């Protein structure tokens, strides 16, 4: 096995070692979807949104992917502070290869965290089909990569101050989730903040995922635009991360 895959699989084995957390995240998802999703879908009665329960389920998956992407990015920063990053940077692998291994780790982490909930939501709402699930996973993992890339790109702040990094990431996360179409179609969002929602990557990720799962396209963004934006964010932020790893991050300060 080449070194990129060896490193990625070592990182993934850490998630598997922490399987209690994985099971807990699935259980929380099931609870959130089963209880709050059900309640919300009874409250939301609209002739325009035929199946809000399903709409909500996809939104919840996007939140899960966002959390996973954030986790992968934050893990990168934690590794620097806990001392793992210098070890990784001392291994015989190029900086680009190192980042590729982290991207693979991010993809697998997303699949592990969001895959079972996706299957569960599709099965529960009677929409389970292999092709839809496959493309939804691609959409979600691409979004996850973009989120990880954003978090890693901000990691240079963490090398100055972890507190400022945490504050910025918390604020950014709140904005990205709230100002997006995760739980409401864009056409329902009030005009004073719908222009802001257009800047959230989650808007494109959630609308693209809904589109591949067969949701009413009239309530969604243009799927080609959404696919282009999600892919561009993933590629752009990962390239930026590569530059940061190569040029800025030098492990921890030593004396």
Partner 1 sequence: MFAVETLSLSKRYGKTDALRELNFTVDEGEIMVILGPNGSGKTTLLMTLCTILKPTSGTAKVMGIDVVKDGTKVREVMGIAFQEARGFWRHKPSSILKFHASMFDIDPVKRQNLIEQTMKELELWESRDKLFMHLSGGQAKRLETAKVLVQRPKLAIFDEPTSQVDLRGKRKIWDKIRELRDQGSTVIVATNEVREAEYLADRVTILHKGTLVVRDSIPKLKDAIAGGDVVEVGFEDPVADKLVEDLKNLGGILTMSPEGNQLRANVSKAEDWVPRMTSASYNVGAKISTIKITEPSLDDVFLHFTGKSLEENP
Residue 2: CB atoms within 10 A of its CB come to: 10
Give the residue with the Cβ less far from partner 1, 4 or 137. Answer: 4
Q: Is residue 3 within the footprint of partner 1 (CB under 8 A)?
A: yes
Q: Is residue 133 within the footprint of partner 1 (CB under 8 A)?
A: no
SS3 for 234? Answer: helix
Q: Are 73 and 57 in contact (CB under 8 A)?
A: no
Burial 230-239, CB ≥16 within 10 A → b, else e: bbebbeebbe
Give the residue with the Cβ less far from partner 1, 3 or 178. Answer: 3
Q: Is residue 242 within the footprint of partner 1 (CB under 8 A)?
A: no
Shortest spacing between CB 247 and partner 1, in angstroms: 9
Shortest spacing between CB 26 and partner 1, in angstroms: 19
Vertex 128 angle, CA 124 and 129, to 5°: 180
Q: Is residue 251 within the footprint of partner 1 (CB under 8 A)?
A: yes
Binding pattern for the stretch 73-92 against partner 1, x by CB under 8 A and - elsewhere: ---------xxx-xx-xxxx
Q: How far is CA 18 from the centre of its chain?
A: 19
Q: Is residue 14 within the footprint of partner 1 (CB under 8 A)?
A: yes
* Contact residue for partner 1 among 43, 130, 131, 255 (CB under 8 A): 255
**Which residue has 């839809």 as its token pair?**
132
Give the residue with the Cβ less far from partner 1, 95 or 127. Answer: 95
Give the residue with the Cβ less far from partner 1, 19 or 42. Answer: 19
With contacts defined by CB under 8 A, how many residues of the chain interact with partner 1?
26
Vertex 170 angle, CA 34 and 230, to 5°: 70
Give the residue with the Cβ less far from partner 1, 208 or 244. Answer: 244
Q: Which of residues 88-117 bind partner 1 (CB under 8 A)?
A: 89-95
Q: How far is CA 153 from CA 38, 86, 176, 237, 246, in A?
A: 37, 18, 16, 7, 12
Q: Are 146 and 69 in contact (CB under 8 A)?
A: yes
Give the residue with the Cβ less far from partner 1, 6 or 161. Answer: 6
d(CA 139, CA 179): 20
d(CA 143, CA 137): 10
Give the residue with the Cβ less far from partner 1, 23 or 87. Answer: 87
Q: Is residue 23 within the footprint of partner 1 (CB under 8 A)?
A: no
Q: Is residue 195 within the footprint of partner 1 (CB under 8 A)?
A: no
Q: Is residue 130 within the footprint of partner 1 (CB under 8 A)?
A: no
Handedness of CA 142, 144, 145, 149 (dihedral sign): positive
Shortest spacing between CB 27 and partner 1, in angstroms: 20
Give the residues lining the site for partner 1 (CB under 8 A): 1, 3, 6-7, 10, 13-14, 17-18, 82-84, 86-87, 89-95, 250-251, 253-255
């Amino acid at each position: 096995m080449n070194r990129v895959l060896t490193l990625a699989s070592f990182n993934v084995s850490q998630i598997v070692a922490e399987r209690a957390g994985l099971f807990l995240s699935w259980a929380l998802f099931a609870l959130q979807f089963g209880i709050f999703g059900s309640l919300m879908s009874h409250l939301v009665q609209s002739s325009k949104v035929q199946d809000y329960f399903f709409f909500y389920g996809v939104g919840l998956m996007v939140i899960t992917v966002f959390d996973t992407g954030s986790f992968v990015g934050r893990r990168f920063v934690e590794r620097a502070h806990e001392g793992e990053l210098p070890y990784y940077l001392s291994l015989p692998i190029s900086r680009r290869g190192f980042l590729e291994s982290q991207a693979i780790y991010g993809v697998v982490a997303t699949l592990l965290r969001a895959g079972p909930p996706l299957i569960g939501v599709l099965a529960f709402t009677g929409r389970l089909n292999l092709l839809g699930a496959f493309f939804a996973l691609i959409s979600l993992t691409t979004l996850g990569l973009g989120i990880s890339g954003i978090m890693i790109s901000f990691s240079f702040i963490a090398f100055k101050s972890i507190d400022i990094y945490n504050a910025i990431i918390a604020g950014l996360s709140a904005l990205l989730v709230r100002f997006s179409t995760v739980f409401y179609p864009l056409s329902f969002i009030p005009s004073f903040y719908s222009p802001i929602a257009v800047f959230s990557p989650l808007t494109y990720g959630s609308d693209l995922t809904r589109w591949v799962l067969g949701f009413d396209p009239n309530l969604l963004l243009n799927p080609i635009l959404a696919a282009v934006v999600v892919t561009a964010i993933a590629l752009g932020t990962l390239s930026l991360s590569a530059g940061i790893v190569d040029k800025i991050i030098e492990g921890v300060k030593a004396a």
